[in-house]
Amino acid sequence: MNRQGLKYTLIILIPLVLSAYTHVWNLLGFPSFHIDEAHYMRRVMLVLAGMGPQESAANGYPRTYDHPYFGQLFMAGILSLAGYPESLNPGSDSYSIEMLHLIPRLVVGFLAILDTFILFKIVERRYSIVYAFIAAILFAVMPSTWMFRRVYLEAILMPFLLSSILLALYLRSPIKNNSLRPKSKYNINKYALIVLSGIFLGLAIYTKIPVFTMIPLVGTMVFFYSGKKLRSVGIWLIPVIGIPLLWPLYSVVVGQTDLWAYWVLWQTERDRPLSLSIVNLFLMDPLLVTLGIAGLVFATIRKDFFPVLWVFPFLIFSYFIGWVQYFHLMLILPAFCISSAILLVSIQKLIYKYYKKLSYSIIGVILVFGIVSTTMLITLDVNSDYRKIYAAVVEKIPNKANQKDGKITLISSHWWVWDTYWIAQYILDKPYYWIDPHLDPKFNDKILTDKVLIVADPIFVNSLSRRIDSDNLRQIRALNNDSSVITSFYDNVTSQTNVYYPYNTLPIMIWNENHPRGEVIIKSNY
C-alpha cells in the first residue's frame, strides 16, 4: 500500500474506531431497556419460532399491523446465523437474561459502525474527504447517537437508507481531487445502481413507513445524475413502491384488510407533537442540533439542497402525522451531521485566513466535547436492577411442562409484561397470561387463572387507584393486597417522580445518582 492509500485508510479508520467505542461499549449497562425493544424482539422471536412475520392477538399482543415486517425478518435472519438463542443455552438466571439482551444490541451496535462507514462514503462522494471525516466523527461521538445502541426499527433500517443514498450518488461522476483513494478500475452499470438503490430504499420503507419521506431526496438524485431521464426514475420506483406493498398485500391474502387499515390509522391518531420531540432532542444534544439547524440554513443559502431534502420532507410529514417520539428523529441525525460538517468546514476556512491554529482548534473542541459527553453516558450502568427483576420474574414462572394447573397470570405495567414475555414465551417455554393497565386502562381483562404473579412498580400501583371501578379492578386490588412479597428492587426509570417515563430522553438527568428511584415489588399468591 502506498503512502496515499495508507493515509486514506487511517482517515477512514479513525471515525470507525470511535464509532465502535461509542456504539458497542457497555451495551448491557446503557441505555436502559426500552419497551419498544421488547416489542420488536417479541416479533423477531415469532419469526425464529417459525410462526411467520405477522403478529396477531393469538400471539399475545392485540395491536396488529402497526409496522411492516422487514425489521423482524432482518433481525431474525442475523440472529439465526449466530445460532441465537440456542447457542447461549439460556436459562432463568441473571447471566442468561443478560446475554439474551446483549446479542441483539450487539447487532445494532455493529450496524451503527456500518452506518458510520456508509455516511463517510456518502459525504466523500458528495463533497470531499474533509467533510466526510468531520461528518463521520460527529455521527460517531455526539451524545444523541446513543439511540443507535437500542434495538429500534430506525437503527435497523439506517444502513439500507444510507446505502440507497450512496448508490444514487454513484450515478454521479466523482469530483476531481475529491479523495485520496485511488480510482477504481471497475465501473458498475448505472441501471444496476438505480435498481439496487431502489431495492435498499424499498427495504427501508418495508421496515418503517415514514422512510417514504426520503423518496424526494433519492429520487431527485436518480433523476439528475442519470441525465434527467424519467425512465430511470420509473425503474427506480418499481422496488421502492413494490417492496413495501408486500405488507398490505399480505393482509389482502389472509383477508385482514380491515385490521390493516384500522392499525395504520391508529398510528396517526395518537398525540405526541413534533415540537416536543425536537425539544427533547435538543436537550439531549444541544450542540449537534444547533450546528445541524444552522448548517441547514447555511446550506440553503449556498443552494445546496442535499441535507435540506433529507430533513424537511420528514419533518413536514411528522408535523401532520402528530405522533413523534424522540427516537423517530434518528432518521435525520446523519443529515444533521452532514450540515454541521458543511458549516464547520466553512467556518474553519474563514478563520484559517487570519489564524490557522484557531481554525482547527474550534473543530477539535467540538469533537472532544462529543467524546467526553458520550463517554459520561455509555459508562453508566442503569440496567443492573432491570436484569435482576427480569430474572426474578422469569424464574418464578413455571415451565410449560410443569403448568399442570394451567398458566399463571402476570399482572404489571407494560414495562415488565413485555420485556419478560419474549424471553419467557419463545425462549424458555414459559407461557403466561397477562394483564397490562397500559393497554387496558379500565382493567376489563378477566383473570383466567388461580395463580397470579404481580410486579408492583409505582406506575402499576398508581393505576390501581383510578376512579374507574369494575369487578376486575376490585379483584386485582384484592390480589395485590393478599399476595405475599417475593422480593423487591429499586429501579431508576419507572419512578413516579420521573416525568420522562417511558421516553428516557434526558439520560444524564435521569440517571444521576441523586435522582429518586422507584421501588418494584414482586408478589405472588402461590
Residue 341: its pLDDT value, please?
Answer: 96
DSSP structural state of residue 183: P
Residue 506: its pLDDT value, please?
Answer: 38
Residue 28: its pLDDT value, please?
Answer: 93
Residue 505: its pLDDT value, please?
Answer: 37
Residue 116: its pLDDT value, please?
Answer: 98
Helix (H), strand (E), coil (C) string for 409-478: EEEECHHHHHHHHHHHHHCCCCCCEEECCCCCCCCCCCCCCCCEEEEECHHHHHHHCCCCCCHHHHHHHH
Backbone φ and ψ for 455, nearest 5 degrees, come out as -110, 100
Residue 498: its pLDDT value, please?
Answer: 38
C-alpha cell at 190: 448505472
Sign (positive/negative) of CA torsion 171, 175, 178, 182?
Answer: positive
C-alpha cell at 319: 408535523
Residue 474: its pLDDT value, please?
Answer: 82
Helix (H), strand (E), coil (C) string for 20-78: HHHHHCCCCCCCCCCHHHHHHHHHHHHHHCCCCCCCCHHHCCCCCCCCCCHHHHHHHHH
- Ranges of the chain with pLDDT below 70: 1, 57-63, 175-186, 356-357, 359, 403-405, 438-445, 466-469, 491-518
Q: Which of 323, 226, 328 is nearest to 267 (CA)?
A: 323
Q: In Å, what is the CA distance from 365 to each residue of 89, 291, 361, 371?
A: 47, 14, 6, 10
Name the amino acid, one letter, at 503. Y
CA distance 101 to 254: 33
Residue 476: its pLDDT value, please?
Answer: 85
C-alpha cell at 63: 395491536
Name the amino acid, one letter, at 20. A
C-alpha cell at 280: 427533547
Cβ atoms within 10 Å, residue 187? 8
Q: Judge if pTM exceeds 0.75.
A: yes
Residue 516: its pLDDT value, please?
Answer: 40
Residue 357: its pLDDT value, please?
Answer: 66
Residue 416: its pLDDT value, please?
Answer: 82
Residue 106: its pLDDT value, please?
Answer: 97
pLDDT digits (tens, 9 = 90+) for 51-70: 888 887 655 566 688 899 99
Contacts 24+ apart (CB under 8 A), 176-182: 178/124, 178/125, 178/127, 178/128, 178/129, 179/8, 179/124, 179/128, 179/129, 180/4, 180/5, 180/7, 180/8, 180/11, 180/129, 181/5, 181/8, 182/4, 182/5
